[in-house]
Amino acid sequence: MVVPLLGHQVALVINDCLSGCQRPIYVDFSNYCRSKMEKLINPAIKGTANVLKSCSKASSVRRVVLTSSCSSIRYRDDATQASPLNESSWSDIDYCKRYSIKQHHFITRIGLLDTYIFEWQLWYAYAKTLAEKEAWRLSKDFRIDLVVVNPSFVVGPLLAPQPTSTLHMILSLLKGERPDYPNTTVGFVHIDDVVLSHILAMEDSRASGRLVCSSSVAHWSEIVEMLRAKYPYYPIPNKCGDQKGDSNPHSMDTTKIRELGFPPFKTLPQMFDDCVKSFQEKKFL
């Protein structure tokens, strides 16, 4: 069920959803914003608090699984030196604020609609870091068994009628609607692996704390090169963006989730091939 976490009588709605539920999963929010950054930060923090508070009152709840992000882990001045980054690593709030400026405004056509996308570069990381820290504070106060999944940039086939915010970015690259590709080094992960990690976090009694869910780390220039080689008929931009603060080389340590029996992560070619195939099948390309 989808509930308006900041709407009127929100607590009553969430409480009703949690009735009889043993292991609720609170998933991600969009990492693109169409207006002020407050519309990204407030839902992240208040929404997380609303869910955790309601879970603390639901006698049926045994464990809460929260979707956070590797964005709450990798944004820091020493990301390269501290790599591989793991569950003990946190993004630096001051670092996120330093680079949180509006970087791009572009239009992508979805169906018959022109969608205006504003990228507030590191406000997403700022919001996710604050929201996750608030979740851990509340879980301690309320004595909630909380497990957090930290996925990196999610790629793969569409699971909904419309592309998610991350898939919007890939689609806009393939359609040549962006002037450049991101000057970003980031981990990528297949949506199938993200789903599996949440099932593991929900069902495996050994799961605890944070779980990094990330396959290969790459700069977007590597992704663009791979896509051009496989799909030369798409007008993919060849210019790199000039945004700062998002290109620090780093690596992610997934030892913890693999020790729980998690299978090998899907590769970059697998996740992007599945993504492009899905775009084609659903007539977005």
Using one digit for the tens of pLDDT, what is the confidence trace for 116-156?
444 445 788 888 999 999 999 999 999 999 999 999 999 99
CA distance 96 to 177: 27
- Residue 132 inside a domain? The answer is yes
pLDDT top residue among 284 and 10: 284
Of 22-36, 165-179, 211-225, highest mean pLDDT: 211-225
The Cα 224–Cα 181 span in angstroms is: 8
Residue 248 in any domain: the answer is: yes
Give 252's strand partners.
85
Predicted pLDDT of residue 32: 47
Structural domain tally of the chain? Answer: 1
- Computed over every residue of the chain, the mean pLDDT equals 85
Q: pTM of the predicted model, to two decimals?
A: 0.87
What value does the mean pLDDT take over residues 163-185?
91
Rounded Cα distance between 65 and 236, Å, is: 37
For the annotated catalytic residues, the residue numbers are: 128
* 4 domain residue, yes or no: no
| 239: in domain | yes
| Structural domain includes residue 66 | yes
Secondary structure of 71-115 as H, E, C letters: HHCCCCCCHHHHCCECCCCCCCHHHHHHCCCEEEEEEEEECCEEE
- The model's pLDDT over 179-233, given as tens digits with 9 standing for 90+, comes to 999 999 999 999 999 999 999 999 999 999 999 999 999 999 999 999 999 999 9
> Taking the C-alpha atoms of 233, 235, 239 and 243 in order, what is their torsion angle to the nearest 10 degrees?
-120
31 CB-side CA count, 13 A: 26
pLDDT single digits (tens) 254-269: 999 999 999 999 999 9
**pLDDT value at residue 9:** 55
Domain at 163, CATH number: 3.40.50.720
How far apart CA 62 and CA 143 sit, in angstroms, is 11
Q: What is the mean pLDDT of residues 33-55?
A: 72
Whether residue 225 is contained in a domain is answered as yes
Is 56 part of any domain? yes
Domain residues for 46?
A: 19-281
pLDDT above 60: residue 18: yes
Any bridge partners for residue 16, and if so which?
none
Q: From residue 121, give the alpha-carbon distance in Å to each of 96, 127, 134, 162, 246.
A: 9, 11, 22, 22, 8
Please tell me the predicted confidence (pLDDT) of residue 205: 95
266 within domain boundaries = yes
